[in-house]
A and B are shown apart, each in its own frame.
Chain A
């Protein structure tokens, strides 16, 4: 099976513009064209964006005014089950973290961020997302071949 790799689409959400700027630069510097970034400062706008689909990795603050990170996770997973969801948080309750795990969060990072740790976690999420994408593309290919043989 030969599946063409395309740039992963990462949605970055944080209510602090300085954090968005830092994370965007960090990810772009490391991954270049392998990851295409969209960044949003308002969680409600992020929810609307997720509803449109096409997000492979969601990196979001957990606690934001209005719509919180857990709501974004639910939205992302409903739209695309293999979207990798990474939380970034300064302080969270045990309950919020357990909810995040239950709902299928991939990983979480603590603020202040450690740049190497951020890149490591994103690289893992990127690889996992690519594996799921290839596996699913493979099953579609097998189905097409089975139909063609019948």
Chain B
């Protein structure tokens, strides 16, 4: 992914919250994996719930673009849109999550293992 495609948290200049944003960004793939499971497993209710969660959290962490995409996905699910329409919004959200970055350079947390972060995310 090029730097041009990256999207950055609006919190990136706030030292009190930099590490929190790093945790959030690092856990985004876990959220997307859960949404992917719900989508491909046909559990649209769960997909809608996870999209709703993402909508609230992403903007709170300084990623309004992700909130907007999650809102569109949640609406598509709630309105009972076609599978193709839901998939299109899901892919849009997934792309944005992959583009999310804390700031440059990312700090040491980026070097922590995914397993460690997953354990932290799931144990809360």
Task: Give the B-binding residues of A (Cβ under 8 A).
Answer: 15-22, 25, 29, 41, 65, 90-91, 111-113
Contact = CB atoms under 8 A, between A and B. Distances in A.
Interface string B3-21: 0000000000000110010
B16 A21 contact: no
A29 B18 CA distance: 13
Contact of A21 (B58, B64, B124): B124
A90 B59 CA distance: 11
Interface of B: 16-17, 20, 23-24, 27, 49, 52-53, 55-61, 64, 67, 121, 124
B32 to A, nearest CB: 14
Nearest to A91: B52
Nearest to B54: A16
Given A21-B20, A91-B52, 6 more contacts: A18-B57, A21-B124, A41-B124, A112-B56, A112-B59, A113-B56
B51 to A, nearest CB: 10
Contacts of A20: 124
A18 B64 contact: no
A17 B124 contact: yes
A20 B124 CA distance: 9
Q: Interface SS of chain B: helix, strand, loop or mixed?
A: helix
B95 to A, nearest CB: 20
A18 B56 CA distance: 10
Contacts, number: 51
Contact of A16 (B53, B59, B64): B53
25 contacts: A15-B53, A16-B53, A18-B23, A18-B57, A19-B57, A21-B23, A21-B124, A22-B17, A22-B20, A22-B24, A22-B57, A22-B61, A25-B20, A29-B16, A41-B124, A90-B56, A111-B55, A111-B57, A111-B59, A112-B55, A112-B56, A112-B60, A112-B64, A113-B56, A113-B60
Contacts of A113: 56, 59-60
B110 to A, nearest CB: 17
A111 B49 CA distance: 14
Given A21-B20, A25-B16, A41-B124, A112 B67 contact: yes
Contacts of A25: 16-17, 20
A55 to B, nearest CB: 20
Contacts of A15: 53
Contacts of A90: 52-53, 55-56
A16, A29, A90, A113: most-surrounded residue (chain B CB, <10 A): A90
Contacts of B121: 17
A22 B24 CA distance: 9
